[in-house]
A and B are shown apart, each in its own frame.
Chain A
Amino acid sequence: MSRIIRVSRNEPMDCAAVGKVLQRFIDDELDDRRSGRVAEHLAACSWCTNEADEFRTLKAALAHGRAPVDDVAARLRALGHELLGDHRRGD
C-alpha cells in the first residue's frame, strides 16, 4: 500500500512537502491534484526544480541507457523464432 503524504488541500506546498513526493511526481504516480500542486511549487522554486531535473536526468539515462549488444539481442530473437518454428513444424 502506498505511503500517504498528508498535505493541506489549500496551503501552498513547501520544499519539505515537495521533497517527500518529488520522485512520485517524476514517475507520474501522483493524482492530478497533488501533481498540480507540486508543479505549482516547482514553477516558483529553483532549488526543487533543480532537484527534479537531476532525478529526471537520472531516470532518462536509465531508461535510454546503453543499448543491448546487437548480436546478443539478435541471438535471443532468433531463439524466439526458433521456438516458434519448432512448434509449428511439430504441429
Chain B
Amino acid sequence: MVASQNEVEQGAFERFVLPEVDVLLRVARGLTRHEADAEDLVQDTLLRAFRAIDRFDGRHPRAWLFTILRNAHLNHHRRRRPGLLRDGNSAGRADRVASDDGPDARVDASFEADVEFALKNLTPPFRQVVSLVDIGGLSYAEAARVLDVAEGTVMSRLHRARRNLRQQLADRRAHAHDGLEPEVGT
C-alpha cells in the first residue's frame, strides 16, 4: 500500500519534529531567558513546523527547526518591542578576557545553574550562537545558515560569548568567595 502525501508528511513530523521538543525548549529558554516565553516560542515553532512540513526536504532537520524557531522568536520580539530589534555586533562585556589568575571556574554542584544565569546576561546575538551551537548542537555552518550570517561571524560571536561566560563564572566565584554579589548585565 502506498502512503498518501498526508501520511508521509505526518510521518515526517513525528520523525523529525516531535523528538526535538526537549532541545527546542532548551534553545528557546536560552533565547528568551523566560520559561513562559520559551514555551510560547516552542509552541509557535511546532505549529509553524507542522504547517511547513510538506516543504521540508528531510536534510538537516535540527537546523530547519531552529530556523523556524529563530524566525518565530524574531516575530515575538518585533511584536513586543517594535523598532528596537537589532542584530548588533556589540558584545557588551563579551570581549573581556578572563584574568590569568582568576579563580578556577570549573565544575562544582552549582556550576550548571551559574552557567544558565551567565547565559542570560549575554546580549541576544551572543546568546543565539551559544544556544544554537552549544545547546542545540549545530555546526558553525548550520548555525550560520539559521542566523543568515557568515560562518566567521558565528565563530567570532561564539568564541567571544564563551569568554564572556567564563569571565562571568570567574567573577561569580570571586564574589561568592568575598561574600559579595557580582555585577550582572551587559
Contacts and interface: CB of A to CB of B under 8 A. Distances in A.
A57 B115 CA distance: 10
Is chain B's interface secondary structure helix, strand, loop, or mixed overall? helix
A47 to B, nearest CB: 10
Contacts of A1: 150-152
Given A2-B152, A3-B152, A67-B22, A62 B134 contact: yes
Contact of B17 (A3, A23, A55, A80): A80
Contacts of B166: 54-55, 58
Given A76-B21, A87-B6, A87-B10, A62 B119 contact: yes
A7 interface: no
Interface residues of A, number: 35
Contacts, number: 109
A91 B7 CA distance: 10
B42 to A, nearest CB: 5
Interface of A: 1-3, 23-24, 27, 29, 53-55, 57-59, 61-69, 72-73, 75-77, 79-81, 83-84, 87-88, 91
Interface of B: 4, 6, 10, 13-14, 17-18, 21-22, 24-26, 29, 35, 38-39, 42-43, 46-47, 50, 105-107, 111-113, 115-116, 119, 130, 133-135, 137, 139-140, 150-152, 155-156, 158-159, 162, 165-166, 169
